[in-house]
Amino acid sequence: MSPREIVDEMMKGDAFSQWLGVDILETSKGSCKLKCRVRNEMLNGHQIAHGGITYSLSDSALAFAANAHGMKCVSIETSISHVNPVFVEDLLRVESTEVYRGKTIGIYSVSIYNQENKIVSRFKGTVHISEKSW
């Protein structure tokens, strides 16, 4: 399966990424770009996007980038820094890049930018690469 086919297959059954409104722009082995429009139901009590929204988008982008090589990957440890607030109607651009890919471990970095090209969050994720292929 090609990177795009794998990601389409993953998205098809992924009810939560569908709820988020994830739109996949580009995908290749180890990287992925997607976008998402922030809705009212994604806000927290400060009327900015809940930290879980940018985390979820980053985690989906990590999964797509890591799995696009063809082997099934499971996330082990992830961290995120929220550096600028995200508001309703913001159009987010999510970019996942590969920092390292070994035999059993991969590390990915995901940055999210708003429509003014300002970084809003930075994520790092470590995955375990299984021996099962897509």
CB of 117 to a copy of itself, least distance (A): 13
Which of 1, 2, 21, 79 touches a copy of itself by CB under 8 A?
79
- Tell me the β-bridge partners of 76: none
CB of 25 to a copy of itself, least distance (A): 19
| Nearest partner of 56 among 25, 14, 27, judged by Cα | 14
Is residue 112 within 8 A of residue 62, CB to CB? The reply is no
Amino acid 9 reads E
| Strand ranges in 1-134 using DSSP code E only, listed in sequence order | 23-28, 31-37, 71-82, 91-101, 105-113, 119-133
User: Please, which of residues 42-71 interact with a copy of itself by CB under 8 A?
Assistant: 42-47, 49-53, 55-57, 59-60, 63
Q: Would you say 2 or 84 has its CB closer to a copy of itself?
A: 84
Write down the residue that tokens 């996949």 correspond to: 24
Chain positions contacting a copy of itself, by CB under 8 A: 9-17, 19-20, 40-47, 49-53, 55-57, 59-60, 63, 75-84, 99-100, 102, 104-105, 107, 109, 111, 119, 122, 124, 126, 128
